[in-house]
Structure 1
């Protein structure tokens, strides 16, 4: 893993999936060895890392709700003390935009404008030609309020487009089923289940359906195993994997998801969306048996320390088991008849 000098970065979230976005981001940052410095309203996260900026962007690109990546250049209580550091960071720019992030509304509009004006003045001491331009700036500075007295000045590094998952949406696949997960939901489960973001992992989906989770995990470079009892789904998943040129990174097994022909402790992570809604068939099995089966499969095929991430409809809960640590991470409201809870269980070492 390529490393550079230690630096402090800021990532902002759009919260498309409520608290799930926050937990997903924290999980991935911790997996890549980042040190969390501050969490502001679960929408803004400051973290320290020695990773190369390009690698950070690669990992954040996999997240469902990340919006901006910023690089911190100054931690301020007195802006004038940091004028040289800030000015050097933007010395070759001609047009600048300034954005103020105040998640807890610590600053009045007048105070924000005052800080912005001071920032412009200190920068113009070293760069007299720089001008404000919101439409086409060479550089964008973000002022982040940590509390009522301390704020940081950050350079914009990357904006993550909201439509970057559209070309992999279920309706664009060669084999489509209305119950298929979208890329964002698939990535959420993958990111919560995988422990090491920088290493190849064996990922199992015991209810693979049309292959939504397999596609996203394979695109990250992981080896995937998909299991389903429906022959049409297995063949559909095969076609979809070929569409995205990742079929060589996956194996598909036609089998009962609760009787998977795999060796004990043979997979690193399980990410799955078991059938439970009106659009997904359980093949005559009671839902409770399917949910119970997920824990049994996890106990057998997961390596020690491995994780399983999956959806359950509210208000279903999992029974306690001394061999598994379990927690409900968050909830996603879909419609009046269905709220999905995201569960993560970890096999004890």
Structure 2
């Protein structure tokens, strides 16, 4: 992949969780110490400039960026698209063209453009070395060369029910990776992550596969053993330290952790019998404040009905709320995903 630093890039966000997807894009790049400039968001697309290294990291880490490309141009009619394609590429270069219409915008024009391209010898979007997409949206046409297309199949072998040790209600790998990326951490700085409600290791495994060292703890010995089994299965046992520990009674030294990413238990079957949900959250947040370095981030989710209480406890324990996102799991559960910064 050859890229010029003066080029604009374009990212297509996951439409159903667009705010989270946008935050993931920004968090990965800024967390690694790079800048985004000249950015503009158009519906589910973000157009921006950044360094080539940042793009390479984005390709390796992002879980909710549906597509990433190099912007060719933004035009207003199909003749301009046709001219662009003919100028930039010749018929022998293995170029394929795909036409897309967002929510029905420009559907008829897209069909006409496709016919004109086929007449000139361009192939459909398959079996080619270079892939161009023209997206009709809000009276404009975004034209770009695709450099990444998300493949959900890459996560399939890490789906909760396919892990050697399974527990119902475990977070799926795409969401686990998203939460890790929201913590604004860096593989280049060798940042460390703590998951104090590790369960069977879903978050820890995703962090390991991105190159992070993880401290993984749980109060339930069955979960600790399950995490060990799963970490070995995914060849992560050398990157994940697993211990038996109560998240409300932290065994970690003060201000040593670069990021905390976790999914606290909130079901009847998962909250420890000796704890109320409020006391569990209070103890967890208090100890997280002790363990996390100043200025660094914690990412976690709680049911919507606990949001007000959670925010009171966060403010009382030296956290500022940087972001919060609603995430509907099913008809009876909506979570709030918090990104909070230690003062």
Aligning the two structures, in what range does the TM-score lie when normalised by the shorter sequence?
0.7 to 0.9
The 3 A distance-change label for structure 1 pair 84 and 115 is closer
Distance 1:276 1:109, change over 3 A: closer
1:64 maps to which residue? 63
5+ residue gaps in structure 2?
A: none
Are 2:27 and 2:182, in contact at CA under 8 Å, matched by a contact in 1?
yes
Aligned partners of 1:15 and 1:65 also within 8 Å: no
- Tell me if the contact between 2:30 and 2:184 (Cα under 8 Å) persists in the aligned partners: no
SS in 2 for 1:59: helix
Q: Within 5 Å, which residues of 2 pair with 1:256-271? A: 256-271=246-261
Q: Summarize deviations over 1:207-255 as a string: whole Å, max 9, x none.
A: 1111111111111111110111112211211111111111111212212
C-alpha separation in 2, matches of 1:205 and 1:134: 42
Give 2:176's aligned residue: 186
* Aligned partners of 1:11 and 1:69 also within 8 Å: yes
In proportion to residue count, which structure has more helix?
2
1:242 to 2:232 alignment: yes
Whether contact under 8 Å (2:64, 2:178) holds in the other structure is no
CA offsets 1:61-102 (integer angstroms, 9 cap, x no match): 433322222211234468878988744532333563231454
SS in 1 for 2:238: helix
Is 1:131 matched up with 2:122? yes
Bigger mean CA deviation after superposition, 156-165 or 89-98:
89-98
- The 8 Å contact of residues 97 and 137 in structure 1, kept in 2 or not, is answered as no
Would you say the 8 A contact 1:211–1:241 is kept in 2? yes
Structure-2 residue corresponding to 1:300: 290
Match of 1:89 in 2: 88
1:130-150 CA distance string (max 9 Å, x none): 3343554554322245754x5
Indicate the RMSD between aligned Cα atoms, in angstroms: 3.0
Match of 2:324 among 323, 329, 339: 329
TM-score, structure 1 normalization: 0.83
What SS does the aligned partner of 1:241 have? helix
Between the aligned partners of 2:124 and 2:298, the Cα distance in structure 1 is 48
Alignment of 1:20-59 (within 5 A): 20-31=20-31, 32-35=34-37, 37-41=39-43, 43-52=44-53, 56-59=55-58
| Residues 139 and 156 in structure 1, CA contact (< 8 A), matched pair in contact too | yes
Scaled by the length of structure 2, the TM-score of the pair is 0.84
Cα distance 1:161–1:36, how it changes in 2: closer, same or farther (>3 A)?
farther
In structure 1, the gaps of 5 or more residues are 125-129
Q: What pairs up with 1:219-238 in 2 under 5 angstroms?
A: 219-238=209-228
